[in-house]
Copies of this chain bind each other. A is one copy, B any other.
């Protein structure tokens, strides 16, 4: 079930800003406890409602994080990519997962027990401060997403999503994405048909170009204006 992917955390986690705060001894502690697992695209890493024992650190690939409701509707609330861990609020509250995580593509992740993480937070002030910064950034993203969902109409919401994918997730323009139209719809709080229609009007207006899995933003200023005004 579990394949050892990285030989040692020291070699791997140097690339993550938060883990650079850890000393070699601390990294060794994490390395000793982690379980490294490979997930195929479509596989669930953790399920909303299930018990929450571990922190998940992504070493390759990408996960999408989403909330499901009683009627099988989903909203995507974020992504996790290398090298980063997923902040799971249930770790500090009721020990339950409040959203699910699925691999978008072939993904490898290391699972680290919550208590190991808690010890690092207790003992390493720099690590704790960087962790607090990350949590705060996520809170801000949640607030911005709520604002987008409620205060903007569909073009504004889709503009938000495309800008966030380009600037915040793939860090590139154009970008190649494994996300389906349903995924884009789930990020922007609309149905798949509506998402497809908005993308078509963006292409017709020469704001973007799509070609297979590639999306290119052709007119950033105009897209940002649509984003601002809804």
Contact = CB atoms under 8 A, between A and B. Distances in A.
A90 B150 CA distance: 22
A106 B146 CA distance: 28
A187 B133 CA distance: 27
A98 B143 contact: yes
Given A75-B151, A122-B125, A189-B150, A93 B143 contact: no
Nearest to A74: B151
A146 B145 contact: yes
A196 to B, nearest CB: 18
Contact of A77 (B75, B136, B143): B143
Contacts of A201: none
A137 B93 CA distance: 7
A16 to B, nearest CB: 18
Interface in A40-92: 67, 69-71, 73, 75, 77, 87, 89-92
Contact of A93 (B98, B128, B140): B140
A64 B76 CA distance: 27
Nearest to A148: B69
B229 A136 contact: no
Contact of A139 (B132, B142, B152, B229): B142
Interface in A127-161: 128-129, 132-133, 135-140, 142-147, 149-152
A99 interface: yes
B136 A93 contact: yes
B138 A139 contact: yes
A71 to B, nearest CB: 7
Contacts of A135: 89, 92, 135, 139
Interface of A: 67, 69-71, 73, 75, 77, 87, 89-93, 98-99, 118, 121-122, 125, 128-129, 132-133, 135-140, 142-147, 149-152, 189, 228-230
25 contacts: A67-B143, A67-B147, A69-B151, A70-B229, A70-B230, A71-B151, A71-B229, A73-B151, A75-B151, A87-B139, A89-B139, A90-B140, A91-B136, A92-B135, A93-B137, A98-B139, A118-B129, A121-B128, A121-B132, A128-B128, A135-B135, A138-B139, A139-B139, A145-B146, A149-B149
